[in-house]
Amino acid sequence: MTSPSSLFRPTYPNIPGSGHAIAVELERRIMIIDGAMGTMIQTHKLEEAEFKGEEFKDHPKSLKGNNDILNLTQPHIIYKIHKDYLEAGADIVETNTFNGTTVAQSDYGTQHLTYRINKEAAQIAKRACLEVQEATGIPRYVGGAMGPTNRTLSLSPSVEKPDYRNITFDELVSAYKEQARGLLDGKADILMVETIFDTANARAALFAIDQLFESDYEPLPVFISGTIVDKSGRTLSGQTTEAFVISVTHMRPMCLGLNCALGATEMRPFIQTVGRVTEAFTLCYPNAGLPNALGGYDETPEIMAAHLKSFAEDGFVNIVGGCCGSTPAHIRAIADAVKDIRPRMRPVNLYSDTLLLSGLEPMKINKFTNFVNIGERCNVAGSKRFCRLITSGKYEEALSVARLQVERGAQILDVNFDEGMLDGKSAMSRFLNFIGSEPDVSRVPLCIDSSKFEVIVAGLKCTQGKSIVNSISLKEGEQDFLDKARLIKRFGAAVVIMAFDEFGQATSIEQKVSVCSRSYQLLVDKVGFNPNDIIFDPNILTIATGMEEHNNYGINYIKATNIIKESLPGARVSGGLSNLSFSFRGMDAVREAMHGVFLYHAIQAGMDMGIVNAGNLPVYDDIPRDLLTMCENLLWNKDDSSTEKLLEYAQAMGKGAKKAIAGDEWRNRSVEERLEYSLVKGIDKFVVDDTAEARVNTDKYPKPLNIIEGPLMKGMSIVGDLFGSGKMFLPQVIKSARVMKKAVAYLVPFMEQARKEQEEKLRAQGLEITNESHYSGTIVLATVKGDVHDIGKNIVAVVLGCNNFRVIDLGVMTPCEKILTTAIKEKADVVGLSGLITPSLDEMVHVAREMEKAGMKIPLLIGGATTSKTHTAVKIAPHYSQTTIHVLDASKSVVVMSSLLDEFLCEELAEDIAEDYRDIREEYFDSLKDRRYLGLEEARAKSLKLNWTSYKPVQPRNLGVTALREYDLNRIVPYIDWKPFFDCVWGLRGKYPNRGYPRIFNDEQVGAEAKRVFNDAQALLNKIISEGLLKAHGVVALYPAFSVGDDIEVLSEDRSTTLAVLHGVRQQAEKDFAGDPYMCLADFIAPENSGVDDYVGMFAVSAGFGAEEMCRRLEAEHDVYNIIMVKALADRLAEAFAEELHERVRKEIWGYMAEESLEISDIHRTKYQGIRPAPAYPSQPDHTEKLTMWKLMEVEKQTGIALTESLAMTPAASVSGLYFAHPSSSYFAVGRVTKDQVIDYASRKEVTVADVEKNLFLGAVLAYDHENP
């Protein structure tokens, strides 16, 4: 089977000719698109006669305002406008065809002229392009403009009829097809679907274009540009920017962006979002500001150019230009402003492991996503109530069923109208139109479900988002399967594949895997389906039917799921859960127990999603033990009589099944147990009464807050544990949180009263009530953009507020910009981000990155149902240099906040978290089997790009070599970092907050022993210094230098001679974010051609001279303890020598930070400018680089520090490394490298490939098996 790796990326296809030329140019520079056509036409002040011209002087309708007709009546005016824009610097001019469809032209009675208008428009633009191209030698291109029309597929023009539409999908496809034909025949170079206010309209245009490219025309580049109508970041039809991008990406546009409606200032956050979520090039052509009171635009060319220049400098864009109100003067200013700025670097493999879906809001399903609930109740076959409402024509009432499903936790909505007496096509279209009118429902993606493919097609024509088709299969043969798959792909939908083939339904493990594998191969190799858009349903079949051959159906599904997930990259697994328990229909308690058991195991095997009744899934641990045992035996076929036993159990329960399971015995327990039970079960009936009972017990709960921190938090903690272990699903969590919210709401008035009383006491004492005196600290809390869930956040706000913290709650759907500006304005001490849905995870990463860019220095807390410690450590924390902490639940928030704001504990906590998260990241990346790597040249192209024009390196005060013989140990001792002494030498690790020195002495378990060994160390250290038992020697050298690619050339003092070359190794492991650089140490040194005189340093120090003699004497005395102590102290002194010398280099010897004044603790935390990486460490994993350093500095001659045959330093208590001074220099890990870099590195060093493979951490950093090629 062909490798699907290239299909994971929905980037633009390779288009020969002008398409390739445009793509190459876009990689090289920012291109310019023209400005407004309408603005320029208006300057001619044309009247009716000019619009009609001679040809249409007798036309029965007015043509004034029909700018497109001017292509036929005033072509010289249109030509001149194009030429003016081209001469102003435009690379691309759009045809004058914004309203060039039969739909728009019908208003003027000129729909029959549509093809001609478009063809001649393209020819006019082409003529202008060729003339300017010939004059300048610079290629110019024609963009065939395809506007949105004046109709909309997603919105009703009638308030009274929300399901009514004044245009159909097919009518739009026909209109766009005719327009595209004219543009293509007129020799347009690009097709531009632009000013999209309704994504459904755009999808119709893309559908038409795709048909033409398949049947009649060679493909051209496709550009897509949406329109965000206001600061909400949504289109007129309600989609968020990211949802819009997902909805059109299936066309693999070369360029994707935004235009119109907003000025550049207002468009900034939205074009930034586009650039963050697409692999296409980005284009941005905003209006010249917002319209003034008279409908005009006031931004001058200089102002507009300055805005777009900032977009370019921030790496947002590949093409810029203007829309309404812009003129050739604007385009000239814009072109001049961005001409020297690098274009945005497109992300690669942005969503290589993610299924992307969208309604009004985006949805991403990947390895970090919990089980996805597909709501099943909008199915005429699955819900009697829904069926009754639909068949009786009560569609608006039926919409409430959909709304309830979403409220109860359905993340995708399954819609099915397969009923014998129902017109499925009509019902599907009508109901989806109703859904489109209800934002609370249409925000989630749809699963369009039918056994009739024409009904599925009808549904696809009514959706603006990216949906799931459920389903197709091989049961009608390969050709039928391929035809349907190609059409689904053209609509841009994901697809569920049922495990059926020409021989029927797959029931065994082997059959399921075989059918799914065959389907996968056909979809990937013959249709070109993105593997991430493939979802398999290996058939959840009914068990406990009394027929022996059905007993293994559950086992077969689970085992097949595991094989499918391991063998078919990118594919997901789903299933309809209700089939499993069909034998017990009517016995809801038994059915739900079976579902809970099945899901618990199927999810562990890899099941990603399922069609379920959101809200009625049982918690695994809550199933009565006897019923759970029977369900387990039934599922795994462990007991031949399990079906009979379960049937007897169900019959014994009768109609009181649920009541028998959820009896009232728990009401006899203690109030604490009752509160916990209510939360875990999601029962809100008694929670207020029970909370009130607890409140009056002031001996046990002196403050209302104690109830929240006690039984309520304990109950929510149990919920969290169950959810995390897969024994409880999202709808139960939501129900539990609602119960919590109800209990907290009861307590809030009492807590507010207590606070008021406390304030009165302070006033009575003459104390002023201010933020500074009253609050322990300030936190800005927000549910991130794209997420409307705030229950958990609200609980955190209450808990923190009641613990004397000032809480600024920004609510839900909070844009990143608002979070940052509020935190800065309010001088927040901490920012807390919350989210319940998976897309929130990506938004949290985005916020962290923006906080880093803004230079913020406050901690970041992460919380919410989908968040995790692993995700925080791997995906969020690396993008923010300050402390980032995952807070498991509200009960932990007070402790974390208090520690972060405690000057003594905050650094300890930060170090503890950083160390923990570093271990998590290492474990995570080590566990990755399929890590992707960039080729060396691509990694170099994405290297760290520093601005050398604005940086002037400080010339070292002492160039050359400086030897440091018999260095005073008293200078070194204050710089000793004692933490490794306890951690690594003696294995004494205190627990937070007593981990570091000197707080380790307070630790209950290891404090006493730590104090003892420390006292021994001090005694021995004093003896070493007083008797001169250890000697310290060192050498430091500073040289002029420049970088050449990945290497650093070390120069003589006059820069006339290259003394040596330091070779660098570059990162190649693929980054999570496109903008993240692939680093090499050479990036921190100015390039040879930069014109900047830069420098590099190096050093070697040792405090181990004399250690060997001391150890020999102690060995003769069999004093093993002090042998270890001597080696440990020599090692600590050597590290301290390196630290103290580095400070001297920064302040004196080099002097680039002469005014530095840092505490020793800050030095240990590397809060200084510059780095000192060492060979054979993560930033340069080749230890042979020491040979170059030893030769340059004459290390052995100057200090006595030698290198062994294996290049270890002797004495062992020695440290060496390089010095880099640039403010942006930082430590990093090269990670694994591929064979192409090893070959290149060997060539640069003039050694064999085998030598390099041996020397790079002894092969540990190789991304391939060099021993078994």
Residue with tokens 């920017």: 241
Q: Can 473 be counted among the known catalytic residues?
A: no
- Smallest CA-to-CA distance from 464 within 362, 318, 336, 367 is with 362
Asked whether the beta carbons of 311 and 271 are under 8 A apart, the reply is yes
Asked whether the beta carbons of 703 and 754 are under 8 A apart, the reply is yes
What is the total residue count of the chain?
A: 1269
**What CA–CA distance (Å, rounded) separates 1073 from 875?**
10
**What CA–CA distance (Å, rounded) separates 181 from 208?**
10
Report residue 775 as tokens: 């609050």
Strand runs labelled E in 750-829:
778-783, 806-809
Residues 947, 949, 954, 956, CA torsion sign: positive
Catalytic residue among 429, 450, 519, 840: 840
Catalytic residue among 250, 601, 789, 871: 789
Report residue 168 as tokens: 């159909």
**What CA–CA distance (Å, rounded) separates 325 from 310?**
20
Alpha helices, DSSP H only, in 606-681? 625-636, 642-653, 657-661, 671-681
Catalytic residue among 787, 1083, 1094, 1182: 787
With b for 16 or more beta-carbon neighbours within 10 A and e for fewer, the 212-241 pattern comes to: bbeeeeebbbbbbbbbbbeeebbbbbbbbb
Residue with tokens 């930082």: 1226
Backbone angles phi, psi at 1120, to 5 degrees: -65, -35
The partner residues of 680 in beta bridges, in order of sequence, read none
Q: Can 789 be counted among the known catalytic residues?
A: yes
Asked whether the beta carbons of 717 and 891 are under 8 A apart, the reply is yes
Q: Can 787 be counted among the known catalytic residues?
A: yes
Residues 1218, 1223, 1229, 1233, CA torsion sign: negative
Strand runs labelled E in 671-754:
none
Extract long-range pairs of 639-645: CB within 8 Å, 24+ residues apart: 642/544, 643/544, 643/545, 643/546, 643/551, 643/583
CA dihedral 23, 29, 34, 36 (to 10 degrees): 110
Q: Cβ atoms within 10 A of the Cβ of 937, count?
A: 11
Extract long-range pairs of 385-390: CB within 8 Å, 24+ residues apart: 387/419, 390/417, 390/419, 390/422, 390/427, 390/431
Strands 609-612 and 884-886 come out as: unpaired
Q: How many DSSP H helices and E strands does the chain contain?
A: 48, 33
DSSP single-letter state for residue 240: B
Asked whether the beta carbons of 351 and 532 are under 8 A apart, the reply is yes
Secondary structure class of 308 (helix, strand, coil) = helix
**What CA–CA distance (Å, rounded) separates 429 from 459?**
6
**What CA–CA distance (Å, rounded) separates 322 from 339?**
16
Alpha helices, DSSP H only, in 1052-1104? none
**What CA–CA distance (Å, rounded) separates 1267 from 677?**
59
- Smallest CA-to-CA distance from 854 within 878, 877, 821, 876 is with 821
> Using only C-alpha atoms, what is the Rg of the chain?
35
**What CA–CA distance (Å, rounded) separates 542 from 643?**
12
Secondary structure class of 1054 (helix, strand, coil) = coil
**What CA–CA distance (Å, rounded) separates 363 from 358?**
6
CA angle 900/903/907 to nearest 5° reads: 65
Just list the catalytic residues.
Answer: 787, 789, 840
